């Protein structure tokens, strides 16, 4: 295998590496966008949860005029305030916040990985440019070698012809 053939093989390998890197980028981008859709759903659900909680609190406000005259309404309002403002609601809201933070962290990780793959592609493209230059040099060297070999064969034929002619001339003289 000639040097230029070997270099072309290495260059083809670099193109395969670029294709693998691009496939990895597409996969990471798909994961990123999937998380983005999930994040939107989490934000929507958080908003819905908070809206439901507010509506229930607003409904409790309607008990203010009644609770003056009714102990049951007063106790119901106190119990519901504990439920609506209590630890359960805080846990749910904190879970939503933590989930959103985890999503953002994972998306950031995906962005970093995408940039690493893009940097690899840039490095591979530079290697291809270098390989192209090396291939051109190798092909020029191989062509020069072929020309030198052809010139040497021609010189050998010429010398052989001259020697043969000289031998013939010497034979004719004797």
Lowest mean pLDDT among 43-57, 91-105, 150-164: 150-164
> Which of 169, 29, 44, 171 lies closest to 111 in space, CA to CA?
29
Residue 140 — very low, low, confident or very high, per pLDDT cuts 50/70/90?
Answer: very high
How many helices (H) and strands (E) the chain has is answered by 4, 0
The residues near 65 (Cβ < 8 Å, ≥ 6 apart) are none
Indicate if the pLDDT at residue 118 is higher than 90: yes
pTM for this model (two decimals): 0.71
How far lies 64's CA from each of 52, 58, 61, in Å?
Answer: 20, 11, 6
* DSSP SS3 for 132: helix
Please, are residues 110 and 35 in contact by the beta-carbon 8 Å criterion? yes
Separation of alpha carbons 61 and 68, rounded Å: 13
3-state DSSP of 104-148: HHHHHHHHHHHHHHHHHHHHHHHHHHHHHHHHHHHHHHHHHHHHH
Please, are residues 3 and 138 in contact by the beta-carbon 8 Å criterion? yes
Indicate if the pLDDT at residue 1 is higher than 80: no
Q: Tell me the angle at which helices 71-85 and 3-61 cross, rounded to the nearest 10 degrees.
A: 170
Phi and psi of 99, rounded to 5°? -65, -45
- Domain chopping of the chain, boundaries: 3-173
Answer yes or no: CATH 1.10.287 is held by domain 3-173.
yes
Separation of alpha carbons 137 and 151, rounded Å: 21
Separation of alpha carbons 117 and 111, rounded Å: 10
Lowest mean pLDDT among 9-13, 32-36, 149-153: 149-153
What is the per-residue pLDDT for 12? 96
Q: What is the pLDDT of residues 12-27, one digit of tens each?
A: 999 999 999 999 999 9
Distance of CA 22 to the CA centre of its chain: 6
Separation of alpha carbons 38 and 174, rounded Å: 106
């Amino acid at each position: 295998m000639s040097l230029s053939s070997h270099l072309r093989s290495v260059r083809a390998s670099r193109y395969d590496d670029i294709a693998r890197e691009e496939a990895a980028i597409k996969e990471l981008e798909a994961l990123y966008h999937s998380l983005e859709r999930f994040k939107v759903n989490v934000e929507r659900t958080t908003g819905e949860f908070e809206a439901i909680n507010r509506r229930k609190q607003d409904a409790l406000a309607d008990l203010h005029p009644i609770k003056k005259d009714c102990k049951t309404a007063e106790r119901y309002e106190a119990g519901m305030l504990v439920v609506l403002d209590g630890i359960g609601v805080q846990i749910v809201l904190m879970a939503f916040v933590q989930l959103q933070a985890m999503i953002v962290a994972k998306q950031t990780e995906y962005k970093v990985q995408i940039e690493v793959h893009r940097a690899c592609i840039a490095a591979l493209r530079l290697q291809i440019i270098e390989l192209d230059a090396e291939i051109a040099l190798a092909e020029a060297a191989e062509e020069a070698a072929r020309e030198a070999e052809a010139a040497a064969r021609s010189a050998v034929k010429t010398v052989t012809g001259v020697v043969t002619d000289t031998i013939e001339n010497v034979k004719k003289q004797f």
